[in-house]
């Protein structure tokens, strides 16, 4: 085996894209595994119109996921000029041309050299595109491939990848964990899809005229205005995480029982309208609503509203992918940091849900006692379920996607906006790093808060009921929103007979 290094990803991917240096890269552990299923509702016009399902052939599934991700990479990099491609639009982000060649380099490392046991295309590029070696702010100064070279490089790698895929054994029972069920192909498809989200965030930070276009989401369904404000999630243990989801990443494993006390959860994410109420009520000027760290950050960073919002007379407007427009009151709020989400919840007399609460609300089926792959069931995401895959370049109105509702009645748990939880990013009991520590393990701890559910910019292949994202509590260039929760009152809510169960939360 060669020395694989790849990128792990929190979708915000502040520092890590690639991973271990050659010295720290594991010599490719190959244990049996359970990789596979990439759901797919490719964007309209996607080159990968084929739908990959959890039950389909691993090679076909891998091919569809790789093609869908590559289609988005093409849209996001071909839509700007070469000057824009090499520019750094924010110090928080890489030049788009770095993302592009990095995608190819990671694919070469893992699929051509590791899975294919081939020499590779340009091993000399490894150091340039190792995200652990070069922080984003430093990447523009590197002797990077130019736009034409980068495009040629990723195309050449892809040709080799497809050749490898056509001949390699990725049977679900393959003894090497990386290959079993095509896991490593799924890992790299998710990697490219996550860079598709990262590059979309770069587009949002970029100044200048709009270059991306997509239809607006459908209007809210007729019942959106009459939905209950909150839904009751029953107490008791549930299965968190997975040991069977084929393309799940190490931090989602293994499945384990967690006890959750009964709680109330917002039926839909907090909207711009409600968030504007918080601002109008002086929320950003009253330390009572903020943690000490949050209050310090608000002061130092001068926060007054979500990122990309500004005042226009007596109304809020926002910049969205180059368009200036009024902030829609009924859309889930976007581009808020964890501190802002936490402060809003306190102001509202509520709190953020824990990660376990979020997952129970999204996956637990009280009728069967089992945890679903998604809020609506086990079927891969379709356009009727959730706003994913960059089909739309904004969240859908609150209350959308009734077919994607969880058993509790909560809507939009998957898609639209990433949802901050109150939880730090921690390993599950029995966690084992795979395929290397830098994928997840080095990020565990109190520095990062967990986000769940995926946003409109997330590919369905990189989103599921168990998927965990994480980022610093100050970050808000990501597609982040939230919903709030509160403890159930056993006397008033009739939940006293529901044991909370035990286990980690």
The contact set with Fe ion (CB under 5 A) reads: 7, 17
Nearer to Fe ion (CB atom), residue 8 or residue 385: 8
Q: How far is the CB of 198 from Fe ion (least distance, A)?
A: 8
Q: Binding residue per annotation — 378?
A: no
- Distance separating alpha carbons of residues 188 and 497, to the nearest angstrom: 46
Nearer to Fe ion (CB atom), residue 7 or residue 440: 7
Give rounded-to-5 percent helix, strand, coil for the chain: 35, 15, 55
The token duo for 501 is 């169960």
- Distance separating alpha carbons of residues 179 and 167, to the nearest angstrom: 12
Q: How far is the CB of 83 from Fe ion (least distance, A)?
A: 24
- Distance separating alpha carbons of residues 344 and 305, to the nearest angstrom: 12
Q: Binding residue per annotation — 285?
A: no
Q: How far is the CB of 17 from Fe ion (least distance, A)?
A: 3
Contact between residue 21 and residue 27 where contact means Cβ atoms under 8 Å apart: no
Give the residue among 466, 459, 452, 230 at the shortest CA–CA distance from 350.
Answer: 230
Nearer to Fe ion (CB atom), residue 2 or residue 17: 17
Nearer to Fe ion (CB atom), residue 7 or residue 88: 7
Residue with tokens 């739309």: 392
Q: Mapping DSSP to helix (H, G, I), strand (E, B) and coil, where does residue 445 land? A: strand
Q: How far is the CB of 190 from Fe ion (least distance, A)?
A: 10
Helical packing angle, 183-205 and 58-78, nearest 10°:
20
Terminal Cα distance for the chain, rounded: 38
Q: How far is the CB of 88 from Fe ion (least distance, A)?
A: 17
Q: How far is the CB of 378 from Fe ion (least distance, A)?
A: 29
Nearer to Fe ion (CB atom), residue 7 or residue 14: 7
Q: Binding residue per annotation — 191?
A: yes
Q: State the CB neighbour count (10 A cutoff) for residue 441.
A: 17
Torsion on CA atoms 474, 312, 214, 157, rounded to nearest 10: -40
Q: State the CB neighbour count (10 A cutoff) for residue 215.
A: 9
Q: Binding residue per annotation — 385?
A: no
Contact between residue 443 and residue 425 where contact means Cβ atoms under 8 Å apart: yes
Nearer to Fe ion (CB atom), residue 84 or residue 197: 197
Which residues share a beta bridge with 470? Answer: 450
Q: How far is the CB of 73 from Fe ion (least distance, A)?
A: 12
Distance from the Cα of residue 82 to its chain's centroid:
28
Q: Binding residue per annotation — 137?
A: yes
Q: State the CB neighbour count (10 A cutoff) for residue 216.
A: 11
Q: Binding residue per annotation — 40?
A: no
Q: How far is the CB of 128 from Fe ion (least distance, A)?
A: 13
Nearer to Fe ion (CB atom), residue 7 or residue 73: 7
Contact between residue 42 and residue 48 where contact means Cβ atoms under 8 Å apart: yes
- Distance separating alpha carbons of residues 89 and 368, to the nearest angstrom: 49
Nearer to Fe ion (CB atom), residue 249 or residue 298: 249
- Distance separating alpha carbons of residues 438 and 331, to the nearest angstrom: 36
Q: Binding residue per annotation — 139?
A: yes
Contact between residue 472 and residue 450 where contact means Cβ atoms under 8 Å apart: no
Nearer to Fe ion (CB atom), residue 7 or residue 242: 7
Contact between residue 250 and residue 432 where contact means Cβ atoms under 8 Å apart: yes
Nearer to Fe ion (CB atom), residue 14 or residue 17: 17
Q: How far is the CB of 25 from Fe ion (least distance, A)?
A: 15
Q: Mapping DSSP to helix (H, G, I), strand (E, B) and coil, where does residue 248 land? A: coil
Q: Tell me the residue nearest to Fe ion as measured from the CB.
A: 7
Q: What ranges make up the beta strands (E) of 179-292?
A: 230-233, 236-240, 256-260, 263-266
How long is the chain?
505
- Distance separating alpha carbons of residues 259 and 356, to the nearest angstrom: 8
Q: How far is the CB of 150 from Fe ion (least distance, A)?
A: 14
Q: How far is the CB of 16 from Fe ion (least distance, A)?
A: 7
Q: Binding residue per annotation — 133?
A: no
Nearer to Fe ion (CB atom), residue 407 or residue 457: 457
Q: What is the DSSP code (8-state) at residue 227?
A: S
Q: Binding residue per annotation — 363?
A: no
Q: Mark the binding-site residues for gamma-L-glutamyl-L-cysteine, compressed into ranges.
A: 136-139, 471, 475
Q: Mark the binding-site residues, compressed into ranges.
A: 102, 136-139, 191, 195, 471, 475
Q: Mark the binding-site residues for Fe cation, compressed into ranges.
A: 102, 191, 195
């Amino acid at each position: 085996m060669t020395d694989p290094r790849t990128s792990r990803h929190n979708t915000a991917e502040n520092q890590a894209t690639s991973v271990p240096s050659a010295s720290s890269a594991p010599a490719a552990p190959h244990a049996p595994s359970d990789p596979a299923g990439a759901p797919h509702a490719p964007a309209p016009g996607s080159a990968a119109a084929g739908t990959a399902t959890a039950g389909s052939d691993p090679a076909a599934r891998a091919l569809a996921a790789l093609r869908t991700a590559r289609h988005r990479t093409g849209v996001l990099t071909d839509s700007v000029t070469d000057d824009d491609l090499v520019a750094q639009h924010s110090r928080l982000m890489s030049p788009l041309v770095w993302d592009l060649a990095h995608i190819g380099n990671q694919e070469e490392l893992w699929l051509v050299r590791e899975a294919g046991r081939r020499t590779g295309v340009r091993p000399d590029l490894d150091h340039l595109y190792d995200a652990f070696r070069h922080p984003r702010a430093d990447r523009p100064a590197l002797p990077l491939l130019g736009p034409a070279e980068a495009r040629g490089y990723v195309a050449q790698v892809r040709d080799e990848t497809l050749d490898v895929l056509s001949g390699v054994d990725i049977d679900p029972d393959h003894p090497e964990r990386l290959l079993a069920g095509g896991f490593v192909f799924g890992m790299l498809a998710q990697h490219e899809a996550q860079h598709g989200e990262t590059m979309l965030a770069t587009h949002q930070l970029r100044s200048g005229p709009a270059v991306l276009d997509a239809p607006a989401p459908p209007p809210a369904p007729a019942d959106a205005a009459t939905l209950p404000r909150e839904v009751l999630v029953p107490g008791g243990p549930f299965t968190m995480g997975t040991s069977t989801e084929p393309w799940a990443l190490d931090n989602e494993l293994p499945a384990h029982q967690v006890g959750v006390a009964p709680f109330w959860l917002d039926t839909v994410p907090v909207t711009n309208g409600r968030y504007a109420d918080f601002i109008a009520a002086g929320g950003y000027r009253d330390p009572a609503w903020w943690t000490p760290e949050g209050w310090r950050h608000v002061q130092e960073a001068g926060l007054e509203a979500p990122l990309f919002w500004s005042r226009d007379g007596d109304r809020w407007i926002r910049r969205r992918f180059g368009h200036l427009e009024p902030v829609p009151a009924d859309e889930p709020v976007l581009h808020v940091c964890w501190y802002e989400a936490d402060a809003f919840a306190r102001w509202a007399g509520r709190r953020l849900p824990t990660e376990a609460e979020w997952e129970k609300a999204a996956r637990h089926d009280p009728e069967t006692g089992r945890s679903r792959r998604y809020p609506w069931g086990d079927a891969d995401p379709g356009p009727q379920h959730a706003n994913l895959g960059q089909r739309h370049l904004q969240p859908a109105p609150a209350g959308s996607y009734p077919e994607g509702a969880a058993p509790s009645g909560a809507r939009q748990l998957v898609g639209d906006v990433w949802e901050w939880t109150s939880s730090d990013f921690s390993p599950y009991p029995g966690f084992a790093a795979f395929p290397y520590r830098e994928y997840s393990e080095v990020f565990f701890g109190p520095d990062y808060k967990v986000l769940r559910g995926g946003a409109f910019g997330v590919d369905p292949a990189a989103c599921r009921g168990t998927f965990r994202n994480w980022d610093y509590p100050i970050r808000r260039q990501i597609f982040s929103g939230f919903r709030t929760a509160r403890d159930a009152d056993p006397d008033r809510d009739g939940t006293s007979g529901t044991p909370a169960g035990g286990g980690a939360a």
